[in-house]
Amino acid sequence: MQTRCATAVACPNIAFVKYWGNRDDELRLPANGSISMNLAGLETRTSVAFDAALERDAFTLQGIPQTGEALARVSAHLDLLRARGDSAWKAKAASESNFPAGAGIASSAAGFAALTVAAAAALGLNLSARELSILARRGSGSASRSIPHGFVEWYAADRDEDSFAESIAPPDHWPLVDLIAVVDAGHKKVGSAEGNRLARTSPYQEARVMDAPRRLLLCRRAVIGRDFATLAMLIEEEARMMHQVMRTSTPPLDYLEDSTRDLMRSIPQWRAGGLPAAFTLDAGPNVHCICPENAAPEAERRLREQPGVRRILIGRPGPGARVVAVDGAGNGRAP
Ligand code: DP6
């Protein structure tokens, strides 16, 4: 039997400076650079088995066989890796996460980072972290940031080979906690791929993108200097700006729920009252409450008291994507 398989694990990440909108949708070259923190505690584990006998790719998500767009997106991503590995073998990919998919917890980031790393290992490709980040980006933009560890910056660029993510500080640099208040774990109505395409239809997007270098500099400095007060103001501004672009796109996108808006009011008030905590959001209604480790128990207690908060997921600065197993016979290359 000619098969070659590997398993990889990746964390999702939460962006402090947001990716929203591309300069090139096909290549997923982002309109602006972004900065994020990987989230240990949340993880996606993906196995990829290339098999000479398979006629088509197959993909299961949480054990459920996928068809249509979900399968096509994974298959297109495997094509990129097959091209790098000079292989024509089809594959079975299986992905399991310990957090709900499609609810603003960047499931595609962890998913495509793990898929890229597993497929590259299965094909026996010896790729650098930079090359893996570039490939992961092609599957889902934010996945580029789940390849390196800890606190990460993804560079905007005009060429495929220049847009990748790098670590700016390791996970143990700053003990921050992301308390993810899940207000609705349902699948989102408009996926980020479609949302990213709509970003340019908002008149606010140009202003957001033009101002990004200033916010990236502030964020980089805040992370390196462990300056929570600056980070808090910045991430809330970022979340509001991104959702303003979403709301003013054509057609408009409104990912927020009433309970999201309540938390967007409460968390800054807690901070004004002395509790270091700040919110950010992704393309979904859940609220990411970021705080230093010593403020996390009190912030978590308050979040649990908020109406509409169904559960709380917890992430801490996390590792990069990594291979956890490689096995099988043959080299995954077409005979
Ligand atoms: C709102 O990376 O999910 O989470 O490239 O189309 O897969 P695709 O989009 P995705 O975009 C989500 C971006 C965000 C903000 C961020 O993580 O920077």
Q: pLDDT means per 10 residues in the chain (335 residues)? A: 92 98 97 98 97 97 94 98 96 93 72 98 97 98 98 98 98 98 74 91 98 98 98 98 97 94 98 98 94 98 95 96 82 36
Residue with CA nearest ligand 1 atom 9: 192
Residue with CA nearest ligand 1 atom 6: 193
Residue pair 239/281 in contact (Cβ under 8 Å)? The answer is yes
Specify the residue for token string 């990411």: 288
176-182/322-327 β-pairing: unpaired
Helix axes 212-224, 203-210, angle to 10 degrees: 50
| CA of 226 relative to ligand 1 center, distance in Å | 25
Residue pair 228/240 in contact (Cβ under 8 Å)? The answer is no
pLDDT value at residue 328: 63
| CA of 253 relative to ligand 1 center, distance in Å | 14
| CA of 188 relative to ligand 1 center, distance in Å | 13
Specify the residue for token string 């900065």: 35
**Rg for the chain (alpha carbons), in Å?**
19
Q: How many residues does the chain have?
A: 335
The per-type count for the chain, helices as H runs and strands as E runs, is 9, 16
User: Closest ligand 1 atom to the C-alpha of 34?
Assistant: 18
Cα–Cα distance measured from residue 228 to residue 13, given in angstroms and rounded to the nearest whole number: 18
Query: H-helix or E-strand containing 35?
Result: strand 34-40
Tokens of 40: 């240990």
Cα–Cα distance measured from residue 5 to residue 118, given in angstroms and rounded to the nearest whole number: 8
Tokens of 264: 């967007």
307: left (phi over 0), alpha (psi -120 to 50) or beta: beta
Test site for ligand 1: of 19, 29, 208, most ligand atoms within 8 A of the Cβ: 19
| CA of 316 relative to ligand 1 center, distance in Å | 20
Residue pair 199/31 in contact (Cβ under 8 Å)? The answer is yes
Cα-based distances in Å from 80 to 101, 148, 202, 304: 24, 20, 32, 44
Compute the half-sphere exposure of residue 84: CA atoms within 13 Å on the CB side of its CA: 21
What is the CB neighbour count within 10 angstroms for residue 284?
Answer: 27
pLDDT value at residue 2: 87
User: Closest ligand 1 atom to the C-alpha of 196?
Assistant: 6
Cα–Cα distance measured from residue 147 to residue 149, given in angstroms and rounded to the nearest whole number: 7
Of the candidates 104, 113, 126, 49, the residue with the CA atom closest to the CA atom of residue 260: 104
- Which residues have any ligand 1 atom within 6 Å of their CB? 15, 18-20, 28, 34, 106, 108-109, 140-142, 192-193, 196, 282-283
Tell me the H-state helices in the chain.
68-85, 107-122, 129-139, 192-198, 203-210, 212-224, 228-247, 258-272, 296-305
pLDDT value at residue 327: 87
pLDDT value at residue 186: 60
Measured in whole angstroms, the distance separating CA 289 from the mean position of its chain's CA atoms is 16
Helix axes 228-247, 212-224, angle to 10 degrees: 150
Specify the residue for token string 């992370």: 223
With 0-12 / 13-18 / 19 or more C-beta atoms within 10 angstroms meaning exposed / middle / buried, residue 295 is: buried
Compute the half-sphere exposure of residue 312: CA atoms within 13 Å on the CB side of its CA: 18
pTM of the model: 0.95
Residue pair 155/35 in contact (Cβ under 8 Å)? The answer is no
